[in-house]
Chains A and B, each alone.
Chain A
Amino acid sequence: MVAAAAAAAAAMGKSRRSSKNSDRLEQEIDEKPAANGDVEEASDRDEESQPSDAASLSEDEGSPGSPVDSEEDNWDVSDDEDHRSGEESDSSEEEVPSRNTIGDVPLEWYKDEEHIGYDVAGRKIKKQARRDRIESFLAGVDDAKNWRKIYDEYNDEEVELTKEEVKIISRMLKGKTPHAGVDPYAPYVDWFVWDDKGHPLSNAPEPKRRFVPSKWEQKKVVQYVRAIRKGLIKFDKPKEEPHVYLLWGDDSSAAENKRHGLSYIPAPKPKLAGHEESYNPSVEYIPTQEEINSYQLMYEEDRPKFIPRRFESLRSVPAYEKALKENFDRCLDLYLCPRTRKKRINIDPESLKPKLPSRKDLRPYPRTCYLEYRGHTGPVKTISIDISGQWMASGSFDGTVRVWEIETSRCLRVWNVGEAIKHISWNPLPELPVLAISAGHDVLILDTGLGNAEEQARINELLHVEESKPEEDGGSTPVVSWVRDEKYDCIRLKHLKAVTTVEWHRKGDYFTTVVPSGDSRAILIHQLSKKHTQNPFKKLHGLPVSAVFHPTRSIFFISTKKNIRVYDLLKQKLVKKLETGVREVSSIAIHPGGDNVIVGSKDGKMCWFDMDLSSKSYKTLKAHPKDITNVAFHRSYPLFASCSDDCTAYVFHGMVYSDLNQNPLIVPLEILRGHTSSDGRGVLDCKFHPRQPWLFTAGADSIIKLYCH
């Protein structure tokens, strides 16, 4: 608005100036005395070029010329006076040297120039010296008329508006006519004189419709009458019926009193108030100031909604300010919350625990640490017990294989293989005390020298390899090369990649090795007597973890990371696929009966599979918080165990009944502790004694422990 006003004012100043500067005005001024002298002549000459300054002003502003009445004379006079004063100022302004003649061009063109334009004579008009803000402000403070001053950018000068002009501007801002004297609604003066003319405009006869009642009105009336008669329009207020009555008569007829629609779920009732909500609760319900402050640190949801307060008397209890809000929240709950029926169990948590037979009845089982076998310098990765139950072999990351006498914990022999031992296993034949050791890329078939002379001779014969064999294979590179190792006087099976496990067949002639990164040559079956290697499983689904022979039948188990595949070796086909559902299988053990399998996983779960029951696990036991490293069955007792990186080994009772209708009974018996963690690893291997209910555990703390009953 202000900007518009300023623009208007500037225009006004400019127009005034231009009107003054125009030749015609000068002419008028020249003529002025004459005009004053003879008004009639001027009016005769032309309406537009009226002698009065007011008319010229109004003309310049673009307002249409209106006939000047005698009433407006006084205004004219005042305007005349005004102009006269203006002219006086004009006369003083005559000295202002020049006016700009650049025309309607953008002023930016002269922005960088020293002049703002040219006067009539073509001389440059110099820019005035700029006053800085403080100066102009001070000048403004001093000057009471400052608010009327406007800077004319075009002529580079300040123009002071007169009071009249300010008035005009304010009127224009209000949307009124610029001059107060103008009457926009002047009475219309007809140009035609109507009186005494004698003839109507139209001479047509009066139409009939002026005399007969309206047909349409009548129709409307008939409509109304009919509507009233029919009762469509009623004038009296409807009668009020009683708004309450006996709604529920008798509740006897049950069939009728059934709620229709879907089953109704009643909204849960709001919680009843406890002691702490009392207006005068016991002292112990009132939190201390520190506690109240500590609520601020809590999460929004955990923060107590209600802080108990105590009032000395009933009269001092104030109105509860959240009453409306809480009621509203309840309303929202009632109509917005989805409702479902939920079974709330109100039972003792102890009753959830399964009824297990007493552990006393399930004895014997390993309970306490009886012996420790010390000697290894690195974590003991693997142990194996001789079938006779007299010897134990252990392999460690320090590259040594040791054979111990179990009962005395004496270390009989030590072999330094040089590489970290991955897996070790005794030959299951008692007359063939031979160890299969996997270390690095090789598998060693090592003679322990524990048999008598006759047996030794047989072993030596068995472990004899002709050196020429590898060359005979010729073209294709052999999967495994059987080599005689002179150092330990044993057979060395050289694989292409690292071997993780080696397991014997029950008859002691075949054994299998697993090379996890071997792709199509991952699982190999070797025959010791013929020094021959087969690769029957070309295609494996997933990374192999381990492979085991069935304890009684010619069945072969291959565990990949997710599944266990069971193959019939005679028919050479897949028998079953067990789905573990765990993240990563780490170990597998077969029940001596052969129908049950336990699988340990790296997420600490152990799955018991009943092969006759299903391909899913019969029971999943989550005992360990860390990876299970190994699982083991006892050969004769109904025991099995798992060991884990959390430094514990669990012993379970796992009874398998010969009655097929009865599911196996699994009872956790004992948690064996004692190993210490080293480098994040706990117990690395566990094995049962073949005849006694004893458990051997090999720890990452380079100790082997024997737990006895």
Chain B
Amino acid sequence: MPKHYRPPGKKKEGNAAKYITRTKAVHYLQVSLSTFRKLCILKGIFPREPKKKVEGNHKTYYHMKDILFLAHEPLLEKFRDIRAHKKKVKKALARKNRDLADRLLNREPTYKLDRLILERYPTFVDALRDLDDCLTMVHLFAALPAVEGERIQVERIHNCRRLSHEWQAYVSRTHSLRKIFISVKGIYYQAEVEGQKITWLTPHALQQVLTDDVDYNVMLTFSEFYAALLGFVNFKLYHSINVKYPPILDPRLEALAAELYALCRYISAGSGRLSGYPQAIASIEDGQREVEKTDTRTEESELRLAQLQHQLPANEPGALMHLMENTDDMDDEDHEKKECRNLFRNFKIFLSREVPRESLLFVIPAFGGVVSWEGDGSPFKESDEDITHQIVDRPTQGHVFLSREYVQPQWVYDCINARIILPAEKYLVGRVPPPHLSPFVDNEAEGYIPEYAETIKRLQTAAKKQVLPMPGIENQDLDDPQTLLVEGIIDRTEANEAAEKKRKLTMLEKQYHDELNMELQGITYSTSLSNKNLQSSVENVKEDTVTTLEESEDLSKVSMSRKKRKLYEAMKIGQERKKEKIKVLKERKKNAEASKTG
């Protein structure tokens, strides 16, 4: 029997058997579409693109194995249970059987996502790799209005808020924040946790409006999964720095909406305690060797005491700082981390009322600064003499302390992105700050360098040269590949130009040498002849370049295969577009400058 003929009722093969459309999948699983959707989101199952779309081009195809994977999912059964349970409750209420309804409501079937998370992210690094969307979602939900009766439950929003603060506290504590960018859409942060670059977006700290053009069921399902994921990730991260996870916060600070600060305090206290832990044990053991080793109860109580003793000084800010410094010294970290930790090291920064407090409270400690704000529960007051900078975002500043600088919030972010302390003149109160540039853009690859980026680069190189001879940081040498690389990157374009010049020079030199050689060999070429020769060669070269310019493209295109030719043309179009964009930018810049001067 020929292979292409399949008698009715026989198994299918190939793409027809491997892939299944969404409708068929829903029928196959015997669930409603919304449940299917939820399952797909939770399990992380996505449609695939079959080579041959058997049922039609406009349909969504799932892999049959994925669907079987869903079919064997215990969650599916759980969803059915929940549905049945809801029906039971409804029935009981309709029959006015309050008793039964209450009893049923008490024992609502619930499900947990831990197994799913482990299934989707078998290792912790996998989870970190996929954390971008999770963090963005959680931060967005944290910014939504927590109003009773809205489409999103209040507990959920509070949970998201708590999780986001916990994450930020961890990032801030471990100094793993790398880049920050204030965009119109919100603030982008990039952190490096366990070698993974994690970028997330937090909306501006303003009231978000719940619009009607989104399907909240989908978003809620996502947020449910992401909240669970972030919970486990936070647990693991806190575990890694020896802090007990579900943190217990100072209720006073929590009430003042300074959860982040409260968390930071908690973490530093906790890690301090636990880092001091072995010492405590050692001392206790020393004592006990002499006496007895059996009485475990006393040991426990002693431990408790030691812990308490360590906790106590943590309440004072000075002691806290001390503890933090201690732990810092113990860590062995890479160069970048050190750089980040020491950026605002000797800075005491005070935030005015009008600046985005949450962001700055997160950012400044992450780069080693000490920060306070206007309001209750703040570690130090505005009148503190040691304050070096005050972040202000108002047209004019009334009362001015001469000992500190009054700068706009953008200064902090620009300093962080440049990794140097930028001069504060441009950011002073009342001035229009210089443009805020994205740290995510590779200017060289893009082909256009904004003016301010060049200024920052110059400042950076200047700072490096200043820093180098200092005795404190001797271990980073000129030979350090990273610094070299950085410097290399800095003047890549310049290098290109230089290389071009160099080539020309070498060519001329070579010619000269040839002539010299000829003279040395004593070949009596008449000058006119040699000149002619030279000229002809030059002409030759010229002609060659012209022809290559004109025809080489056409000719080499002819001998390319069609696939390569199309690819080549597409790439050329892309390059053209890029060039066009840069041209527009340059044009605009020129116009702006002209209008400024004229």
Contacts from A to B (Cβ < 8 Å): 233-235, 237-238, 242-248, 251, 256-262, 264-267, 269-270, 272-275, 277-288, 306, 308-309, 311-315, 317-328, 330-332, 334-340, 345, 349, 352-354, 356, 619-623, 650, 666-671
Which residue of the partner chain A has the closest CB to B61?
A338
For the complex, give the distance between the alpha carbons of A324 and B452 in Å: 32
A278 touches B124 (CB 8 A): no
A278 touches B181 (CB 8 A): yes
B66 touches A335 (CB 8 A): no
B123 contacts chain A at the CB level, 8 A cutoff: yes
A671 touches B123 (CB 8 A): no
Given the interface pairs A266-B129, A273-B183, A324-B214, the reply to whether A259 lies near B120 with Cβ below 8 Å is yes
Which residue of the partner chain B has the closest CB to A320?
B185
Tell me the smallest distance from the CB of B357 to a CB of chain A, in Å: 12
Other than A277-B181, A338-B60, give 14 A-B pairs with Cβ distance below 8 A: A247-B117, A257-B123, A259-B120, A262-B66, A272-B440, A274-B441, A277-B184, A277-B438, A280-B182, A280-B433, A281-B437, A327-B219, A353-B557, A650-B558
A-chain residues with CB within 8 Å of residue B112 when the two chains form the complex:
243
A-chain residues with CB within 8 Å of residue B188 when the two chains form the complex:
272-273
B40 contacts chain A at the CB level, 8 A cutoff: yes
A-chain residues with CB within 8 Å of residue B452 when the two chains form the complex:
282
B354 contacts chain A at the CB level, 8 A cutoff: yes
Given the interface pairs A279-B183, A279-B436, the reply to whether A338 lies near B48 with Cβ below 8 Å is yes
B410 touches A312 (CB 8 A): no
A671 touches B551 (CB 8 A): yes
7 contacts between A and B (CB under 8 A): A259-B122, A275-B450, A277-B185, A314-B410, A326-B185, A339-B48, A622-B558
A-chain residues with CB within 8 Å of residue B79 when the two chains form the complex:
none
B140 touches A327 (CB 8 A): yes
Which residue of the partner chain B has the closest CB to A332?
B218
Given the interface pairs A266-B130, A272-B188, the reply to whether A245 lies near B203 with Cβ below 8 Å is no
- List CB contacts (< 8 Å) of B123-139 with chain A: 123-127, 129-130, 132-133, 136-137
Tell me the smallest distance from the CB of B553 to a CB of chain A, in Å: 9
For the complex, give the distance between the alpha carbons of A259 and B437 in Å: 40
Tell me the smallest distance from the CB of B67 to a CB of chain A, in Å: 11
B222 touches which of A274, A283, A331, A349 (Cβ 8 Å): A331
Tell me the smallest distance from the CB of A619 to a CB of chain B, in Å: 8
For chain B, the count of residues having a C-beta within 8 Å of the partner chain is 110
B28 contacts chain A at the CB level, 8 A cutoff: no
A335 touches B49 (CB 8 A): no
B450 touches which of A277, A282, A330 (Cβ 8 Å): A282
Tell me the smallest distance from the CB of B313 to a CB of chain A, in Å: 29
The secondary-structure label for the interface of chain A is loop
For the complex, give the distance between the alpha carbons of A340 and B46 in Å: 10
B-chain residues with CB within 8 Å of residue A306 when the two chains form the complex:
184
Given the interface pairs A237-B106, A238-B107, A277-B185, the reply to whether A246 lies near B239 with Cβ below 8 Å is yes
B383 contacts chain A at the CB level, 8 A cutoff: no
A258 touches B207 (CB 8 A): no
B236 touches A247 (CB 8 A): yes
A339 touches B182 (CB 8 A): no
A283 touches B65 (CB 8 A): no
A319 touches B207 (CB 8 A): yes
Given the interface pairs A261-B66, A273-B440, A339-B47, the reply to whether A243 lies near B231 with Cβ below 8 Å is yes
A323 touches which of B185, B409, B565, B589 (Cβ 8 Å): B185
Tell me the smallest distance from the CB of B427 to a CB of chain A, in Å: 11
B-chain residues with CB within 8 Å of residue A345 when the two chains form the complex:
567
Given the interface pairs A278-B435, A314-B355, the reply to whether A320 lies near B204 with Cβ below 8 Å is yes
Tell me the smallest distance from the CB of A193 to a CB of chain B, in Å: 41
Given the interface pairs A248-B127, A328-B219, A622-B565, the reply to whether A273 lies near B571 with Cβ below 8 Å is no
For the complex, give the distance between the alpha carbons of A603 and B258 in Å: 74
B-chain residues with CB within 8 Å of residue A261 when the two chains form the complex:
65-66, 69
B256 contacts chain A at the CB level, 8 A cutoff: no
Tell me the smallest distance from the CB of B402 to a CB of chain A, in Å: 24
Top 10 A-B residue pairs of the complex, sorted by shortest distance between their CB atoms: A272-B440, A319-B206, A328-B214, A284-B589, A349-B571, A257-B122, A277-B183, A282-B435, A248-B124, A338-B47
For the complex, give the distance between the alpha carbons of A289 and B118 in Å: 52
B124 touches A354 (CB 8 A): no
Given the interface pairs A247-B235, A282-B451, A620-B562, the reply to whether A335 lies near B589 with Cβ below 8 Å is no
Tell me the smallest distance from the CB of A696 to a CB of chain B, in Å: 21
For the complex, give the distance between the alpha carbons of A327 and B41 in Å: 15
B123 touches A315 (CB 8 A): no
A275 touches B441 (CB 8 A): yes
B181 touches A273 (CB 8 A): yes
For the complex, give the distance between the alpha carbons of A282 and B567 in Å: 34
Given the interface pairs A320-B184, A320-B186, A338-B47, the reply to whether A280 lies near B211 with Cβ below 8 Å is no
Q: Mark B537-577, 1 if CB is under 8 A from A, else 0.
A: 00000000000000100111111101011011001100100
B199 contacts chain A at the CB level, 8 A cutoff: yes
For the complex, give the distance between the alpha carbons of A258 and B122 in Å: 6
Given the interface pairs A274-B441, A281-B435, the reply to whether A251 lies near B123 with Cβ below 8 Å is yes
A283 touches which of B130, B214, B239, B588 (Cβ 8 Å): B588
B182 touches which of A278, A287, A321 (Cβ 8 Å): A278
B-chain residues with CB within 8 Å of residue A313 when the two chains form the complex:
393, 408, 433
Given the interface pairs A284-B588, A335-B46, the reply to whether A275 lies near B203 with Cβ below 8 Å is no
For the complex, give the distance between the alpha carbons of A670 and B231 in Å: 68
A-chain residues with CB within 8 Å of residue B211 when the two chains form the complex:
321, 324-325
Tell me the smallest distance from the CB of B190 to a CB of chain A, in Å: 8
Q: Mark B460-497, 1 if CB is under 8 A from A, else 0.
A: 00000000000000000000000000000000000000
For the complex, give the distance between the alpha carbons of A352 and B125 in Å: 37
For the complex, give the distance between the alpha carbons of A185 and B207 in Å: 60
A337 touches which of B37, B47, B571 (Cβ 8 Å): B47
B-chain residues with CB within 8 Å of residue A234 when the two chains form the complex:
107
B-chain residues with CB within 8 Å of residue A280 when the two chains form the complex:
182, 410, 433, 435-436
A353 touches B133 (CB 8 A): no
B215 contacts chain A at the CB level, 8 A cutoff: yes
For A234, A267, A331, A354, the residue with the greatest tally of chain B CB atoms inside 10 Å of its CB is A331
B534 contacts chain A at the CB level, 8 A cutoff: no
For the complex, give the distance between the alpha carbons of A208 and B61 in Å: 71
A247 touches B432 (CB 8 A): no
Given the interface pairs A235-B103, A323-B185, A353-B568, the reply to whether A337 lies near B559 with Cβ below 8 Å is no
- List CB contacts (< 8 Å) of B227-267 with chain A: 228, 231-232, 234-236, 239, 245-246
For the complex, give the distance between the alpha carbons of A326 and B201 in Å: 12
Q: Mark B479-519, 1 if CB is under 8 A from A, else 0.
A: 00000000000000000000000000000000000000000
Given the interface pairs A282-B437, A349-B568, the reply to whether A356 lies near B559 with Cβ below 8 Å is yes
B208 touches A324 (CB 8 A): yes
Given the interface pairs A278-B435, A331-B222, the reply to whether A337 lies near B46 with Cβ below 8 Å is yes
For the complex, give the distance between the alpha carbons of A264 and B239 in Å: 28
B-chain residues with CB within 8 Å of residue A666 when the two chains form the complex:
559
A-chain residues with CB within 8 Å of residue B199 when the two chains form the complex:
269, 272
A-chain residues with CB within 8 Å of residue B585 when the two chains form the complex:
284-285
Given the interface pairs A272-B440, A309-B184, A313-B393, the reply to whether A328 lies near B215 with Cβ below 8 Å is yes
B-chain residues with CB within 8 Å of residue A267 when the two chains form the complex:
46, 130, 133
B213 contacts chain A at the CB level, 8 A cutoff: yes
B354 touches A315 (CB 8 A): yes
B356 contacts chain A at the CB level, 8 A cutoff: yes
B281 contacts chain A at the CB level, 8 A cutoff: no
B133 touches which of A334, A352, A621 (Cβ 8 Å): A334
For the complex, give the distance between the alpha carbons of A248 and B126 in Å: 11
Tell me the smallest distance from the CB of B169 to a CB of chain A, in Å: 16
B-chain residues with CB within 8 Å of residue A282 when the two chains form the complex:
435, 437, 450-452, 589
B-chain residues with CB within 8 Å of residue A281 when the two chains form the complex:
435-437
B579 contacts chain A at the CB level, 8 A cutoff: no
Given the interface pairs A244-B245, A319-B207, the reply to whether A340 lies near B48 with Cβ below 8 Å is yes
B209 contacts chain A at the CB level, 8 A cutoff: yes
A352 touches B232 (CB 8 A): no
